[in-house]
């Protein structure tokens, strides 16, 4: 696929308002692999107007037809899955096998799930002497991050389309070529003109214009808590709906009865996956004092095996940020048992898989989201202390609990202030609601709960 030098608006590629462009850089070698236009507020306005014009027709389209378009979209993504994986590897630096298995496969599954939900969801229900209609919220402004470029797009666009909404997407500036490929797929799937629109650009320019646009009824944003606060404030001032999927500092709690080796090895793999650039990564491993030294040794050994198997971070700024956190961990007294701040190679934005022991809950690396391949291991004396440490951050996105007895793990998980918990290594479920407690966000994505984010209710009394 050759990069488009325009925006996808109202069913066609059209020239951008300005002449500024964004270089797309491969973080593995620093090479520029493409350019996309840097959208302006005028580009956003044009896209929102197209989405508003298309809204009456699309919202009135029978759900079965919306489902058919989503099925067609899934089929196009399946046909182009190898191209998608190669594109994400080029833009993000993710190893190709991971791009194929996760970056391409997960959004295909999500698109398929919304094709089914659009066909089966009860858009009206009888409640006593009322009929409640579930209607589309309207025009959606979607602002997506770079860490899972296609998955985050599909997790917003697919339910919005299923609900009958129209959408304007502003993707992350680091991975816009994947978004252009997605726009091609939408076009190929026969989604009507204006229903889906794409504006590439910088967050403070195009993203802000989209979040603040009076023609947008719901802003769905995935990214940092700091930016999420600003979007939430702007949406609140305009009394418009907002869905925010923000940061995380998830705890991986290993109870004494657990299979320690399995829990540690899976825990390390979880943090190193996608080079640690996962908001739900289990970046804090909590281990009982009696098993602590063994767990640290196992984690150091597991991390050392990763070596060259993880890709670079997305850009040089992110690389410097993560190395800064590693240096801060050392400065605050944590003990490095794997990795460190030195770049493992001269070329590319790489960071060594890093494990810290002797981490205390007040350290920066135990409280702040690092967004890199960095694991902190904390010790606890009893279950109550483990729970206090697990719940002791401003975040609450995900987590894990390991125990010899499943019921014991579930009882602990039920007391965690977090939106998702994996029990003894439970697998990711694209139908389960994903989202956080506390400062990890507002609202849910995926499955039925993800669909209802894009609906509002109207009650008719008889």
Closest-CA residue to 48 (of 185, 166, 202)? 166
165 is catalytic: no
- 376: three-class secondary structure by DSSP: strand
pLDDT at 238 over 80: yes
Residues contacting residue 31 through CB under 8 Å, at least 6 positions apart? 25
pLDDT at 2 over 90: no
279 is catalytic: yes
Catalytic position from the list 91, 212, 245, 369: 245
Considering the chain, what percentage of its residues have pLDDT values greater than 90? Answer: 97
Strands (DSSP E) found in 408-454? 422-423, 441-442
Name the residue ranges covered by the structural domains of the chain. Answer: 6-246+439-461, 251-430
Which residue's entry shows tokens 């994947």? 178
pLDDT of 239 reads 92
Considering the chain, what percentage of its residues have pLDDT values greater than 70? Answer: 100
pLDDT of 391 reads 98
Return the structure tokens found at 209: 């214009």
pLDDT of 368 reads 98
Return the structure tokens found at 69: 């378009």
The whole-number average pLDDT for the span 148-153 is 98
Cα three-residue angle 94-366-415, rounded to 5 degrees: 100
pLDDT at 307 over 90: no
| pTM greater than 0.85 (yes/no) | yes
pLDDT at 308 over 90: no
Tens-place pLDDT, residues 76-102: 999 999 999 999 999 999 999 999 999
Q: Contact, 213 vs 48, CB < 8 A?
A: yes
pLDDT of 1 reads 79
Return the structure tokens found at 384: 């109550």
- 215: three-class secondary structure by DSSP: coil
| Weakest-pLDDT range from 343-352, 416-425, 433-442 | 343-352
Homologous superfamily of 251-430: Aldehyde Dehydrogenase; Chain A, domain 2 (3.40.309.10)
Closest-CA residue to 182 (of 77, 101, 92, 96)? 77
Catalytic position from the list 91, 184, 212, 279: 279
Q: Contact, 416 vs 286, CB < 8 A?
A: no
pLDDT of 23 reads 97
pLDDT of 139 reads 98
pLDDT at 316 over 90: yes
CATH topology of domain 6-246+439-461: Aldehyde Dehydrogenase; Chain A, domain 1 (3.40.605)
The whole-number average pLDDT for the span 95-120 is 97
Tens-place pLDDT, residues 335-374: 999 999 998 998 999 999 999 999 999 999 999 999 999 9
Give the residue ranges of DSSP H helices in 273-362: 292-306, 316-331
pLDDT of 143 reads 98
Which letter, b or e, does each residue of 146-159 get, where b requires 16 or more Cβ atoms within 10 Å of its Cβ? bbbbbbbbbbbbbb
Q: How far is CA 127 from CA 130, 133, 253, 264, in A?
A: 5, 11, 43, 49
Closest-CA residue to 238 (of 214, 262, 256)? 214
**Whole-angstrom Cα distance, residue 254 to residue 397?**
18
Closest-CA residue to 269 (of 313, 314, 302, 311)? 302
């Amino acid at each position: 696929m050759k990069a488009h030098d325009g925006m996808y608006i109202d069913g066609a590629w059209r020239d951008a308002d300005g002449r500024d462009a964004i270089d797309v850089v491969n973080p593995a070698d620093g090479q520029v692999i493409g350019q996309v236009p840097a959208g302006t507020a005028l580009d956003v306005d044009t896209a929102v107007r197209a989405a508003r014009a298309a809204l009456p027709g699309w919202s009135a389209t029978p759900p079965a037809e919306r489902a058919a378009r989503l099925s067609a979209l899934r089929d196009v993504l399946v046909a182009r899955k190898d191209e998608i994986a190669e594109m994400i590897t080029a833009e993000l630096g993710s190893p190709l096998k991971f791009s194929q298995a996760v970056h391409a496969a997960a959004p295909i599954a999500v698109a398929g799930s919304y094709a089914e939900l659009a066909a089966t969801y009860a858009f009206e229900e009888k409640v006593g002497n009322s009929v409640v209609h579930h209607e589309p919220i309207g025009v959606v402004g979607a602002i997506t991050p770079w860490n899972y470029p296609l998955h985050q797009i599909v997790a917003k666009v697919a339910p919005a389309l299923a609900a009958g909404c129209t959408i304007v997407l502003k993707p992350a500036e680091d991975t816009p070529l994947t978004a252009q490929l997605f726009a091609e797929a939408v076009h190929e799937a026969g989604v009507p003109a204006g229903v889906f629109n794409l504006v590439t650009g910088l967050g403070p320019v195009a993203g802000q214009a989209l979040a603040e646009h009076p023609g947008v009824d719901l802003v769905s944003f995935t990214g940092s808590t700091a930016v999420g606060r600003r979007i939430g404030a702007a949406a609140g001032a305009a009394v418009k709906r907002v869905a925010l999927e923000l940061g995380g500092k998830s705890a991986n709690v290993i109870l004494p009865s657990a299979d320690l080796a399995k829990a540690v090895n899976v825990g390390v793999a979880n943090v190193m996956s996608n080079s640690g650039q996962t908001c739900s990564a289990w970046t804090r491993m909590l281990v009982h004092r009696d098993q602590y030294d063994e767990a640290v040794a196992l984690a150091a050994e597991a991390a050392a095996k990763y070596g060259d198997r993880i890709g670079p971070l997305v850009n040089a700024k992110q690389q410097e940020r993560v190395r800064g956190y590693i240096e801060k961990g050392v400065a605050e007294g944590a003990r490095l048992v794997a990795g460190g701040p030195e770049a493992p190679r001269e070329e590319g934005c790489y960071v060594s898989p890093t494990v810290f022991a002797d981490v205390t809950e007040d350290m920066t690396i135990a409280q702040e989201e690092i967004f890199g391949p960095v694991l902190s291991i904390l010790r606890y004396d009893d279950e109550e202390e483990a729970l206090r440490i697990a719940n002791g951050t401003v975040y609450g996105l995900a987590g894990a609990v390991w125990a010899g007895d499943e019921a014991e793990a579930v009882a602990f998980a039920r007391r965690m202030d977090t939106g998702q918990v994996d029990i003894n290594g439970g697998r990711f479920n694209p139908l389960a609601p994903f989202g956080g407690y506390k400062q990890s966000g507002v609202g849910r994505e995926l499955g039925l709960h993800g669909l209802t984010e894009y609906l509002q209710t109207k009650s008719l009394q008889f």
